[in-house]
Amino acid sequence: MIEAFIFDLDGVITDTAKFHYLAWKELGLKIDIEIDEEFNESLKGISRMESLERILIKGNKQNEFTLKEKEDLANDKNKYYVELIKHISPKDILPGIENLLKEIKLNNIKIGLASASKNATMVLNNLGLNSYFDFIADAAKCKNSKPNPEIFIMAANGLDVDPLNSIGIEDAMAGIDAINSANMYSVGVGDKDSLNKANIVFENTQTIDFNQIVNSYKAC
């Protein structure tokens, strides 16, 4: 029996993944490290500080900054990001997502959020989707970045559900690994080849089908 659907936010509920990319790119200009779309894929689902570490390693500058300087750089990135997401509104909900949330609720299944973003609550508020969520895991309390399952386990605990009876939805490879390690059923949104470890993949949010997920979960 499915007890919960646990969602990632960036790239699943709304297209903020592009704003994270633009904000990192802007920071990259400041520290002279080029960030392209391909490299950005490896940052999806990864926490702010860990993303910065990966960027510094890419630019071979991992030993150039003190912890305080790194925190300042991460804050700068966040300032760029917050500026970009300021005007997010319900029209920025990705196609099909609100109907999916409604269908889950109609079936008396709990809904949780397992986003690595410390801006998640603000984004959900701006989208007007807060009331659908029974529990939002707090990224600030999460010690281990995806692919570690910690944030998904935190969400399952907060919802008081068994991970084995939970469905996780993600657009990033690291996120699918996190869901699988949490012993949840994984739903990927995006490219079938790169999300090939997911139990089921939909090409985009519009095509996510509640009944198909339920049936494939039951069959596995």
In Å, what is the CA distance from 166 to each residue of 130, 136, 143, 186?
20, 15, 22, 9
| Contact flag: residue 10 with Mg ion (CB under 5 A) | yes
State the Cα–Cα distance between residues 164 and 145, nearest whole angstrom. Answer: 21
Q: Which residues bind ligand BG6 (CB under 6 A)?
A: 9-10, 17, 20, 43-48, 51, 78, 115-119, 139
Q: Which C-beta is closer to ligand BG6: that of 19 or that of 210?
A: 19
* Residue among 122, 117, 123, 23 nearest 73 (CA): 23
Is residue 47 a known part of a binding site? Answer: yes
Terminal C-alpha separation, the chain = 12
Express the helix, strand and coil content of the chain in percent, nearest 5 each: 50, 10, 35
| Contact flag: residue 150 with Mg ion (CB under 5 A) | no
- Residue 51 contact, options ligand BG6, Mg ion, none, Cβ 5-8 Å cut-off depending on partner type: ligand BG6
Among the listed residues 4, 5, 8, 177, the single contact to Mg ion using CB under 5 A = 8
Q: Which C-beta is closer to ligand BG6: that of 115 or that of 166?
A: 115
Annotated active-site residue 10? The verdict is yes
| Contact flag: residue 177 with Mg ion (CB under 5 A) | no
Q: Which C-beta is closer to Mg ion: that of 161 or that of 189?
A: 189
Q: Which C-beta is closer to ligand BG6: that of 74 or that of 167?
A: 74
Residue nearest to Mg ion (CB): 11
Q: Which residues pair with 170 in a beta bridge?
A: 188
Annotated active-site residue 134? The verdict is no
Name the minimum Å distance from CB 211 to ligand BG6.
27
Helix (H, G, I), strand (E, B) or coil at 116: coil
Chain centroid offset of residue 181 CA: 16
| Contact flag: residue 188 with Mg ion (CB under 5 A) | no
Residue type present at position 216: S
Residues annotated as part of the active site: 8, 10
